Amino acid sequence: MTAAVARTAVRPRARAGAAGRWLKFGVLLVFALIVLIPMYVLLVTSFKPLAEATAARAWQLPTVWTVEGWVFAWQELAPSLANSLRMVIPASIISSVLGSLNGYVMAKWRFPHSDVVFTLFLFGMFIPYQAVMIPLVQMMQAADLMGTITPLVIAHVVFGIPICTLIFRNYYATLPDQLIEASRVDGAGMLRTYWSIILPNSAPAFAVTLIWQFTSAWNDFLFAVFLTGPSDWPVTVALNNLTGSMVMPYNQQMAAALLASLPTLLVYVFLGRFFMRGLMAGALKG
């Protein structure tokens, strides 16, 4: 009798739990649809001919499917896509390596006033680009670097060091101190310990910083406008210039927008699981 009563009491709770899960799923599905609606409009418009794309029928599927918008976008953006790759790859790697070294020292080799130094590193995360634009341009002009990819790489490396230092410092703080102590007992110095002990265990943090820096540098527009010339413009600047004077070529612009965002989208699709593993491994834990 008691067991039957218990089963009767459990069933409503189980049904309530299932209803709650379905409600959460429905809410998440609604939010996902809201986020994907602009992507749908971009995609279907990019495959429309110009006359149909300029008409006020953004929701409708193309009556005639064409790739002329994609062909035009590729012809216009291909050089700028190459410029963006030339910029984001070295900027992401250099800032990640420097952030790893800084984080290692801040986490495992404490020194007097190290907390103050770490706070100053973090302060760099809150400096807006606009505040340093004029002195940055003057410095690059004095160094005869203006109008090339080099000043853009330098700018993103410098602005990426604070966030990379924070990520690596918090990640290395989770590594056992016994590893460092054992390497010291074996006679290894700071750099030897980093190379042999710390670096092989840094893959999750590197995944986070590389993906973060790649996305941040790829989407930059302000530095790119001021520091590079027309022949070295990255894809964000070229996309901004892809406008019509009399008629808005929406099919070309939509295709160009998708083409410009495709690298970062692919990075998160194929490497997103490593990004989440890095976060869960403690990369952003304080």
pLDDT at 83 over 90: yes
- pLDDT score recorded for residue 284: 47
CB atoms within 10 A of CB 267: 17
CB-based contact 64:49 (threshold 8 Å): yes
Written as one letter, the residue type at 182 is A
**How do residues 239-272 score in pLDDT, each as one tens digit?**
988 875 556 788 888 999 999 999 998 888 887 7
Spatial separation of the C-alpha atoms in residues 77 and 260, rounded to whole Å: 8
The residue behind tokens 């609604």 is 30
What are 169-199's pLDDT values in tens digits? 989 888 888 888 888 887 878 888 888 888 8
Tell if the pTM clears 0.85, that is, is over it.
Answer: no
Domain ranges, ordered by start, for the chain: 2-46, 68-283
For the cut 60, the answer to whether the pLDDT of residue 285 exceeds it is: no
Cβ contact 172:107 at 8 Å: yes
Q: How far apart are CA 70 and CA 68, in angstroms?
A: 5
Nearest CA to 208 out of 284, 154, 103, 95 is that of: 284
- pLDDT at 156 > cutoff 90: yes
> Which superfamily is assigned to 68-283 in CATH?
MetI-like (1.10.3720.10)
Which residues make Cβ contacts (< 8 Å) with residue 180, sequence separation at least 6? 108, 193, 197
Q: How far apart are CA 148 and CA 140, in angstroms?
A: 10
Check whether 35 has a pLDDT greater than 70: yes
